[in-house]
A and B are shown apart, each in its own frame.
Chain A
Amino acid sequence: MARSKRELTEINAGSMADIAFLLLVFFLVTTTMDSSWGLSRKLPPPLLENQEPPPPIKDRNVFVVLANSNDQLLVEGQLMEIAELREAAKEFISNPQRKENLPEFKDVEVDLLGNMKVSKQVISLQNDNGTSYNLYIQVQNELEAAYNELRDQLAMEKFGTKYTIIEEMAKNEDPNVSEPAKAKVKAVRKVYPQRISEAEPKETGS
């Protein structure tokens, strides 16, 4: 009865770990936790040769942010720290006390929200060639944050949800069905449109 005595031979799985380690090391080396996150912006279309200059905007409607080569900020003629920029921009955009020196409003019919007062604000950003990219991004970030906080506030008031959350919902929505989230995003954006204008770089001067 030699047959019954023979042990069942198992495949040796000891080298499995080695193979797996080899693959693991390969992926460890090639991996980059590469971020695909960023601040999205839209550039203005190029200027045409014989284009009429845009109509002038009233001073009170423009929020001027200047950044110099020493990474200092001049906001509406005042030296400012980056930490104060967000509040200043928020006050400018919403003009809660309807001050004379802050932007005007016009009545606009907005879907879902009805008749709203929309500010005629424009933010003008101008930087020097020597401004550091870091400061530039911080400024862009603070301005975007100002818009987002105001939009959050409005969405909270009108829809009971934060704007950023509605925006996230709108992204995953089926485009074929009726889309309340997308309409909400559109409405909020219409009340607080993001108008950040960057000055044309100057040819002369260094």
Chain B
Amino acid sequence: MSKFKKDGKKNTPAVSTASLPDIVFMLLFFFMVTTVMREVDLKIKLSQPEATEIEKLEDRSLVDYVYIGEPTNTALYGTLPKIQLDDAFATVADIQDYVIEKRADRPEAVHGAIIVSLKVDEETKMGIVTEVKQELRDVQALKISYSTREKVNKKKF
């Protein structure tokens, strides 16, 4: 009978935390694989429109970004949409130089494959976007991509 004798003094054993590192490492690897280092510090408000017929930009090394939107710091920069190239605000006139400079960084063989991705806030008016597009045309950067979020296509389900 003593087999089932209860020992009142016995403490409940602590939950083993030995597998905790494994769990954390699993999470860590997930984030390491999915992470993309932030290209720039955004100084504008960017909420992209949604679309369904979208394609993925395959080769990130061949993509340049042009950001357009309302500045986050409206007290300092006002509410009119501004263009951001790399980490600084720019004007429409700076776009050509920017594209040429970026193009010069890459081997000549891939110049035709460079894509300019326009990351534009959905509330922006088309006027400034059209101006940017004209500049891109003038500098022969003809491949562009309007960056969008993916809309869940209800028809598929």
Interface residues of A (CB under 8 A from B): 13-14, 16-17, 20-21, 23-24, 27-28, 30-46, 69, 127-134, 136-138, 140-141, 144-145, 148, 201
Contact = CB atoms under 8 A, between A and B. Distances in A.
B25 A20 contact: yes
Query: Per DSSP, are chain B's interface residues mostly helix, strand or loop, or mixed?
Result: mixed
A127 B124 CA distance: 13
Interface string B103-129: 000000000000101001111111101
Contact of A37 (B57, B131, B141): B57
Contact of A35 (B125, B143, B147): B147
18 contacts: A14-B17, A17-B20, A20-B25, A23-B28, A27-B28, A32-B35, A32-B36, A34-B39, A36-B147, A37-B148, A38-B148, A39-B51, A41-B144, A43-B142, A43-B143, A128-B126, A132-B126, A133-B123
Given A39-B53, A137-B146, A201-B130, A132 B137 contact: no
Interface residues of B, number: 56
A133 B147 contact: no
A132 B24 contact: no
Contact of B52 (A14, A32, A136, A141): A141
A79 B15 CA distance: 68
Interface string B46-68: 00110111111100100100000
